[in-house]
Amino acid sequence: MQDSTSSLTSLTLPAKPKKTKELFQHNFSYMGIPFIVSGLIVKKQNQDFRTLRNRFQPTFHHEYDNYTQYVPLVATWSMKLAGVESRSSWKELTVSNVFSAALMAGFVNTLKYTTKEMRPDNSSNNSFPSGHTATAFMCATILHKEYGMLSPWYSIGGYTLAGVTGITRQLNNRHWIGDVLVGAGIGMISTDLGYFFSDLIFRKNTTSSQLTTHFNRYDTPSFLSLNMGFATGPSTLRTADLYDTEEGTPLGMRLHTGTSTVVSAEGAYFFNAYIGLGGRLRVATVPVIADIPEENKQHFDLDNDLKEGAPVNMYLLDGLESDHLGMCDIDLGLYFSYPLSSRFLIGSKLLAGRRTNANFTLNSISRINPAIFDRQKVSQEAYDQFYKADVDYYIQQEGLSVQEMLQSTFIDEEFLHIRKSSTFKLGTGLSLAYRYKENAALRLYCDYDFASPRLTYDLENSWADEDGNREVRSYSKRTPMHNFTFGASIAFMF
């Protein structure tokens, strides 16, 4: 009777599915998912972040990313060959790496040749996602799984190199930011699954206690995280007063800003459970829309016709094209943490650093003033002197009739430049972290940053002379910027 009951019990308990679930939970970090989600969200701003690259590093071209992607994997196998004890046996390491590489290659190539997205440099239509970045993060995750338990610096080094690889793919103009983030996520998820499948083969008899990780409330909360958020700031930027000529008509421009997209990497080393030192690298793209009063548009001497004695302007200003202001922040400072429990932590920080604003351009949009064809306002003599040459050019070279000219708009890409600038900044913030694994946490955060850059505006509202030169007038204004950023991040804890 006793044997019968024992037999019935063994048949009833779902032991194998339970072990499979435990192995999956043990191996799957979920850290790749936020990368993929972030990449899909930020894809809408691919062009904006590429514009930042073109403004900060337009001539960047290096090929070391072809090699850095493999360095963490080479380090793993080199240490294994040197006899440094790792997580896996040789068989386990080989099988898990093969599974990881096969899954990564399958995911990447399936997406590349189904989405067929054009690369930023227009060289081919297999941009999404980044294979180099997927490989780099796969290799870094292998190093983390094999040797991260010996020292967190192996993991930090591997993921830092992987991050450098991804950033270099963007700087080389080979990938969009969305390609890189999704590629990173695919690399991490593929490795998690590769080790899970390997453990199903080699570690079926692992006990539940061996799969359980333990951490307590007062462990040091050192971390390395990727953050993504959206920032609000001043609704308008304080701009310099711009004039068409000295003591002439003011432009009256107001620069309205929208919600900015923010991507940052952040990390801190804690000396105890409460205080540490760290830093943050932050990139943001801020939409900027220029608003000009209608009266100013009508009277602004767009091409210096009035200054040279013409009765009316040939071109009337319709407005300025919108653009994006790019900002790059580098901060260092103190980080604080208070453990509410073993899993929940609240944090804060006090940072100081530098903010660099990329140069950007606001193009003017104009149209032909119909008054130049009105002989009651403009005499034939004045028309011949000031306007005829330009009108004849449009008729003869562009094939436009007078009516088509009046219906056309004209873009001047040299109208207004805002120079690159750098300034001191301060920052702070609050965060709430949920430590769902010993070495992984999800964070919600709210950051506040203040900077007051001096923006210099170069106004070129005159046509080029015979030598191609244009008169440039420069105006400067200090522009206070208060920014609140709300976002989420995935953090590697160590």
With a CB cutoff of 8 Å and minimum separation 6, the contacts of 381 are none
Q: Is 484 exposed, middle or buried (0-12, 13-18, 19+ CB in 10 A)?
A: middle
Is residue 11's pLDDT more than 50?
no
Tell me the residue type at 362.
L
| Cα angle: 429, vertex 432, 433; to 5 degrees | 125
197 forms beta bridges with none
pLDDT band at 145; cut points 50, 70, 90: very high
DSSP secondary structure letter of residue 250? B
SS3 content of the chain, % helix, strand, coil (to 5): 40, 30, 30
Is residue 20's pLDDT more than 90?
no
Exposed e or buried b per residue across 120-154, where buried means at least 16 C-beta atoms within 10 angstroms of its C-beta: beeeeebbbbbbbbbbbbbbbbbbbbbbbeeebeb
Mean pLDDT of 283-304: 89
Strand-strand pairing, 236-237 and 275-291:
unpaired
Whether 35 and 185 have beta carbons less than 8 Å apart is answered as: yes
Structural domain boundaries in the chain: 14-211, 223-493
Q: Which of 64, 211, 224 is nearest to 153 (CA)?
A: 224
Report the Cα 336 to chain-centroid distance in Å.
26
Instruction: Classify residue 292 as left (phi > 0), alpha (psi -120 to 50) or beta.
Output: beta
pTM to 2 decimal places: 0.84
| Token pair 């779902």 in the structure block, residue | 14
Tell me how far CA of residue 358 lies from CA of 47, 55, 363, 487, in angstroms. Answer: 15, 6, 16, 23
Q: How many C-beta atoms surround the C-beta of residue 470 within 10 A? A: 15
Whether 209 and 481 have beta carbons less than 8 Å apart is answered as: no
Mean pLDDT of 337-362: 96
| Cα angle: 195, vertex 198, 202; to 5 degrees | 130
| H/E element, 265 | strand 260-270
Whether 336 and 394 have beta carbons less than 8 Å apart is answered as: no
The percentage of residues in the chain with a pLDDT greater than 70, rounded to a whole number, is: 93
Mean pLDDT of 300-313: 85
Q: Is 110 exposed, middle or buried (0-12, 13-18, 19+ CB in 10 A)?
A: exposed
Handedness of CA 90, 93, 96, 98 (dihedral sign): negative
Report the Cα 438 to chain-centroid distance in Å.
28
| Cα angle: 46, vertex 48, 52; to 5 degrees | 115
pLDDT band at 62; cut points 50, 70, 90: very high
Is residue 401's pLDDT more than 60?
yes
- What are the E-state strand segments in 292-371? 315-320, 323-339, 344-357, 360-368
pLDDT single digits (tens) 123-144: 999 999 999 999 999 999 999 9
Whether 260 and 233 have beta carbons less than 8 Å apart is answered as: yes
| Token pair 């070495």 in the structure block, residue | 439
**pLDDT score for 340:** 97
Tell me the residue type at 74.
V
pLDDT single digits (tens) 196-248: 999 999 976 665 555 566 678 999 999 999 999 999 988 888 888 888 887 78
3-state secondary structure 209-249: HHHCCCCCCCCCCCEEEEEEEEEECCCEECCCCCECCCCCC
Handedness of CA 35, 41, 43, 45 (dihedral sign): negative
Which class is domain 14-211? mainly alpha
**So what's the architecture of 223-493 in CATH?**
Beta Barrel (2.40)
In angstroms, the CA 488 to CA 41 distance is 13
